Amino acid sequence: MKFTAGQIAGLLGGQVEGNADAEVSALSKIEEGKPGSLSFLSNPLYASYIYTTDASIVIVNQDFVAEQVFKNTLTLVRVPDARAAFATLLDAYNQFRNNKTGIDPSASISPSAKLGANVWIGPLVCIGDHAIIGDNVKIHPHTFVGEQVRVGANTILHAGVKIYHECVIGNDCILHAGVVVGSDGFGFQPNSENNYKKVPHIGNVIIEDHVEVGANTTIDRATLGSTIIRKGVKLDNLIQIAHNVEIGENTVIAAQTGIAGSTKIGRDCLIGGQVGIVGHTTIGDRVKIAAQSGIGNPLKDDEIVQGSPAFSIGDYKRSYVLFRSLPDLKAKVQDLEKLMKNSDH
C-alpha cells in the first residue's frame, strides 16, 4: 500500500518540504534507505545519513537545519517530534497489518465460549469452555485459552501463548509468543518421608489494561487469591513472576528478572535486567533497581539501588571505586611487608 508525503504530513500534522506527491510503500532506517521507503531522523548522530540516503521521504524535527544539499529525490516532512511521529506511523502500520477478522477452520472453540465482534482466531487455536473473548481480539496460531478465561477488547495474543483456566487479561494488552499465564506456582511442602508434596494453586492471574508481556515470560497463578499485574505494566522477555506477586501501575521490568512469591512492587518502578527479588518483601513506588542486583530486603519509595545484595547506588559507586583499587592496595601492602621484613634484618 502506497502513501504520499502529503498524506503522511496530514496524518502527523506536519509540513511537506519537497514533492508532496512523493510515494512510499516501505519503512527503512535512514542509513539503509531505498527508493520508495520512508525513514526518520531525530538523533544528531545520524544526521550525516540524510544527505546520502536513498529514502524517498524522511521525517525530521521542525527545527532541523540542513548543512549540505540533499539528493533531489528526497522529500522532508517536518513535525514537532520526529521519533514520536515515526512511532505513530509504526502503530498505524501494525494496526493495518493486523486488521484480520474471522475464524480459521482448524481452530477448536468450545460451544460455550463467547466471542466478541471482529475477532480473528488463527490456525490451531484452542479456546476452552465458558471463555469470553472481547471485541477486536487477535489470537495467533497455536494459542491456548483455558476454561473461564476472560480476554479484553483489542488485546493481541501472539503465537503459542498459553492462558490457564480462570485467568483474566484486560483491554488493549499484548502478549508475545510463548507467554504462559496461570501455570502453578513453585510450591512444595517436605513431608516426613523427606519427599515433597505439591501445594495446589487454586487462585488465578489478573492482568489489567494496557499491559505488554514479552516473549517467553511466565506469570504463575496465586496459591489463593490472585497474582496481579496492574495497568500499564511493561514486562520484557524471559521474566519469571511467581505466585501472589503484585506489580504496580506503569512499572517497567527488563529481561531475565525473577520475582519470588508474594512480593509487592509499587507503581512507576524501573527494574533492570537479571534482577532477583526475594519473596514476601515490598518494593515501594518509583524505585529504580540497577541490572543484576539482588533484592533481599524491602525498599522504600524513590530508592535507587544497585549490587547483590543491593544498597544505595551512591554508596555502591563509592564502594566500587575502592573495590577496583584492591589489587593496587594489595601490591602496596606487600611492598610494605617486604620493607618491614628487610628492616628487621
The span from the CA of 230 to the CA of 222, in Å, is 15
Residues in the chain: 345
Residue 243: active-site member: yes
The DSSP bridge pattern shows strands 270-271 and 252-253 to be parallel
Cell numbers representing residue 56 in the block: 524517498
Which residues have CB under 8 Å from 263's CB, separation 6+?
242, 245, 246, 277, 278, 279, 280, 281, 282, 283
Q: Which of 210, 243, 280, 345 is catalytic?
A: 243
Q: Which phi and psi (to 5°) does residue 51 adopt?
A: -90, -10
CB distance 133 to 114 below 8 Å: yes
Q: Could you give the strand order of the β-sheet that contains 276-277, starting from the edge strand earlier in sequence?
A: 108-109, 126-127, 144-145, 162-163, 180-183, 218-220, 240-241, 258-259, 276-277, 294-295
The span from the CA of 36 to the CA of 28, in Å, is 10
Name the residue with cell 512469591.
261
The span from the CA of 238 to the CA of 121, in Å, is 25
Name the residue with cell 601492602.
333
CB distance 266 to 284 below 8 Å: yes
The span from the CA of 146 to the CA of 151, in Å, is 11
The Cα angle at residue 268 between residues 267 and 272, in degrees rounded to 5:
110
Active-site residue set: 243
